[in-house]
Amino acid sequence: MTASLGRAVRARLDELADRDGLPAGSAERLARLLGLLAEDTTAPTSVRAPHRAVDVHVADSLAGLELSAVRDARRVADLGAGAGFPGLVLAVALPGAQVALVESDGRKAAFLARAVEAVGAANVEVVRARAEAWWAGTGVHDLVTARALAELPVLVEYAAPLLARGGSLVAWKGHRDAGEEADGAGAADVTGLEPAGVVPVTPFSWAEARTLHLYSKVRETPSRFPRREGMARKRPLRASA
């Protein structure tokens, strides 16, 4: 499956593994993921070509390791896991962490199951559920991640009930948006989180704006959360909530 990736892609994976101090064998495991992405026409992403995916997906996911909240995580929930980014890449990078890839779409969840098998990720569980309906995950995670999933106030509401006190939400975003950040802060105040910083990252040389938005859980989430399915998107919490 990985023979067709080419020398440049393999060299880039080796470079990333070296840069981020990944465990031995990680580059080959990530190569298998890129191979599956390229060959499986059901892969739920428009970026499947290995020479682009190695940066757009893998390097971008690994950028989260710049945060200690990510590097030190031991129980992780990746929301809207899609094709496995960042959750599955982080599971390879952090073999001591238990990672739940939470995905409500059946086709995407089926791809994730194949991807987990391809990389041999024994520390990963694929959860086919909506984040706000996943009661088994309530209050037990020290890290929730989300990439290209929703606006910040929606992500905050999804994450808050899943996090243990002291845990963190890390959201992968592009350009900063003052209004969205204000709404995220408002949602955090309501749900027991607080903003803990925005970190600009450059996961690859031709990246445009890339930011990691960090929130910390500082108190218990009120019992009225999570709201019923779909409400976080339909009526997101705003700065005035």
Q: What is the pLDDT along the chain (241 residues), one digit of tens a residue?
A: 444 799 999 999 999 999 999 999 999 999 999 999 999 999 999 999 999 999 999 999 999 999 999 999 999 999 999 999 999 999 999 999 999 999 999 999 999 999 999 999 999 999 999 999 998 899 999 999 999 899 999 999 999 999 999 999 999 999 999 999 999 999 999 999 999 999 999 999 999 899 999 999 999 999 999 899 889 999 989 876 5
Please tell me whether residue 143 adopts helix, strand or coil conformation: strand
Q: Name which of 231, 154, 210 is nearest 186 in CA terms.
A: 154
Please tell me whether residue 101 adopts helix, strand or coil conformation: strand
Every domain of the chain and the residues it spans? 65-234
How far apart CA 57 and CA 89 sit, in angstroms, is 9
DSSP 207-240: ----EEEEEEE-SPPPTT-SPSTTHHHHS---TT
Q: Is the pTM value of this prediction over 0.85?
A: yes
How far apart CA 181 and CA 165 sit, in angstroms, is 22
Residue 29 CA from chain centroid, whole number: 18
Sign of the four-CA dihedral 120, 13, 63, 109: negative
Task: Look up the CATH architecture of domain 65-234.
Answer: 3-Layer(aba) Sandwich (3.40)
Cβ neighbours, 10 Å, residue 206: 8
DSSP-assigned beta bridge partners for residue 127: 102
Phi-psi region of 43 (alpha: psi -120 to 50; beta: other; left: phi over 0): beta
